[in-house]
Chains A and B, each alone.
Chain A
Amino acid sequence: SYELTQPPSVSVSPGQTARITCSGDALPKKYAYWYQQKSGQAPVLVIYEDSKRPSGIPERVSGSSSGTMATLTISGAQVEDEADYYCYSTDSSGNHWVFGGGTKLTVL
């Protein structure tokens, strides 16, 4: 079955840039989506279709995709950005969706 691979954890100091990667064989042809989940809360969409930001998501959050890797970038990370981040995409058929394993972002 299709898999998306993320690093388990990323740690940065406040004000630094955090980059979270997601690799998958179908990403050259399929969009990546990114969700942020804070403890005890439902996930929130922060990036859709590789690089688009929903309303209400700060501009310091951005997304990109190249080849088999999608990247979520948080510029000037703040303590409030601490959360688990999940990438989300489909397999090559477009019918079966999958989440990456999640990346715990620590800002301290």
Chain B
Amino acid sequence: EVQLVESGGGLVQPGGSLRLSCAASGFTFSNYWMCWVRQAPGKGLEWVANIKQDGSEKYYVDSVKGRFTISRDNAKNSLYLQMNSLRAEDTAVYYCARDGNWGQGTLVTVSS
């Protein structure tokens, strides 16, 4: 059974940084593109970034380019999202996803 478990969310001040992690199990992690998707409170879904199987290709939504970095460690079956220069509008539940499989999400709140 595919399992994706996010962690690392929390409250951070504007301008601060946070690193999200996603632990994957139940499938061969290194065979799949992975992505992060977020959902602001009461809003729709927004694709944030994705990364190729070997990490050689990464793509981002325009609003996070230059501030967020997606990465992975295939040896640890883990996906990461380094978030810097956080803004209030980054407040959201962040989901780790592989094809149609999603985790339960981790909440990031950016507020002073």
Question: A interface vs B, CB < 8 Å?
Answer: 1, 33, 35, 37, 42-45, 48, 54, 84, 86, 88, 95-102
Say yes or no: B100 contacts A1, CB within 8 Å: no
Say yes or no: A102 contacts B103, CB within 8 Å: no
Say yes or no: A96 contacts B61, CB within 8 Å: yes
Known: A43-B45, A86-B44. A97 touches B50 (CB 8 A): yes
The CA-CA distance from A101 to B45 in the complex, in Å, is: 8
Known: A1-B62, A42-B95, A48-B100. A99 touches B45 (CB 8 A): yes
The CA-CA distance from A54 to B47 in the complex, in Å, is: 21
Q: How far is the CB of B57 from chain A (nearest CB, A)?
A: 8
The CA-CA distance from A54 to B50 in the complex, in Å, is: 22
Considering the complex, which residues of chain B in the window 36-57 have a beta carbon less than 8 Å from any beta carbon of chain A?
A: 37, 44-47, 50, 57
The CA-CA distance from A68 to B105 in the complex, in Å, is: 32
Say yes or no: B103 contacts A98, CB within 8 Å: no
Chain A hits for B45, CB < 8 A: 35, 37, 43, 86, 88, 99, 102
Give the contacting residue for A43; candidates B35, B57, B102; CB below 8 A: B102
Q: Does B104 have its Cβ within 8 Å of any Cβ on chain A?
A: yes
Majority secondary structure of chain A interface residues (helix, strand, loop or mixed): strand
Closest residue of chain A to B93, judged by CB? A42
Q: How far is the CB of B27 from chain A (nearest CB, A)?
A: 15
Give the contacting residue for B103; candidates A1, A42, A44; CB below 8 A: A42
25 example contacts (A-B, Cβ-Cβ < 8 A) are as follows A1-B62, A37-B45, A42-B95, A42-B104, A43-B45, A43-B95, A44-B100, A45-B99, A45-B100, A48-B99, A48-B100, A54-B100, A84-B44, A86-B44, A86-B45, A95-B59, A96-B59, A97-B35, A97-B47, A97-B50, A99-B44, A100-B44, A101-B44, A102-B44, A102-B45
Chain B hits for A44, CB < 8 A: 100
Closest residue of chain B to A96, judged by CB? B59
